[in-house]
A and B are shown apart, each in its own frame.
Chain A
Amino acid sequence: MWILFFIVTLFPLLSQQNSCFTEDINHSRSIYSIGDTLSVEDQNFLYPVCNGSDNYTTGDSFSFSDLNGNTNGGDYKVSLISMNATW
């Protein structure tokens, strides 16, 4: 009985804490083509970091402005963003 209770109630909660997600991801955004520059709003939007490396640790937030030397104090980075639907 207790095992069933754990599976039904606690396990989803624990799993959620260990996963990497944000509650409010909805914001209006533009669609960008080659030559376009991301808006300040889109550059400042925060995304969770699920695996830390370089200057990030797991649990940090990432934004495109992190790579923009004009907004991060002069640390200019050229970024390659690799998008994947599945791993």
Chain B
Amino acid sequence: MSTFQNELRNDDGYEDVVIIAVGQTNISSFNSGFTANSDLPLVMDQYPDLSIREQFNGQHKELVILDVDGTLLGRITLNSGVNTTAKTYIRNILAENYEQFVPGDVNQDTLVNVQDIILIVNMILSSNSDSSGDVNQDTMVNVLDVVQVVNMILS
């Protein structure tokens, strides 16, 4: 799974994608097994409550996709691992939504960098702005949007 995360970030340019693994703790091999072999953050969903799984009505090996405000975009059960079908499903959802839910990517190259800052500054100076520059979604394109993009880059 962490390999797929690297593919999404490095090969596809979805650098703001994170994969979080969720597990339960009544498994004796929890620490010695999974956590020793994973590069992903592992979040504990405590047995028997399993509240994360419950709120998504999730199944074993199910993966859910959330956008930046916590909206559930899709779900797929990975019974055969992260195979081609699963990768295609996930990539299709990202392709449909990623630019829309990554504020700051003004030029929509899937990256937030200095080029986006330049575009926003040009919008401000020319008074010819559009919604893509309104990073903080306050209906105005101004220095606050520049600051927010700078913070994104620095973080």
CB-based contact B103/A53 at 8 Å: no
User: Which chain A residues border B34 with CB–CB below 8 Å?
Assistant: 51, 87
In the bound complex, CA of A51 to CA of B39 (Å): 8
**Distance to closest chain B CB from A74 (angstroms):** 5
In the bound complex, CA of A50 to CA of B72 (Å): 24
In the bound complex, CA of A22 to CA of B52 (Å): 14
- The interface of chain A, by Cβ under 8 A from chain B, is 18-22, 25-27, 29-38, 42-43, 45, 47-56, 58, 62, 64-65, 67-70, 73-87
**Distance to closest chain B CB from A18 (angstroms):** 7
**Distance to closest chain A CB from B65 (angstroms):** 6
CB-based contact A36/B72 at 8 Å: yes
CB-based contact A31/B46 at 8 Å: no
User: Which chain A residues border B73 with CB–CB below 8 Å?
Assistant: 34
CB pairs A–B below 8 angstroms (25 shown): A19-B25, A19-B31, A20-B25, A31-B55, A34-B72, A49-B42, A50-B44, A51-B34, A62-B41, A64-B66, A68-B69, A74-B135, A74-B151, A76-B68, A78-B66, A78-B101, A78-B102, A81-B56, A82-B19, A82-B61, A83-B62, A83-B64, A84-B61, A86-B24, A87-B30
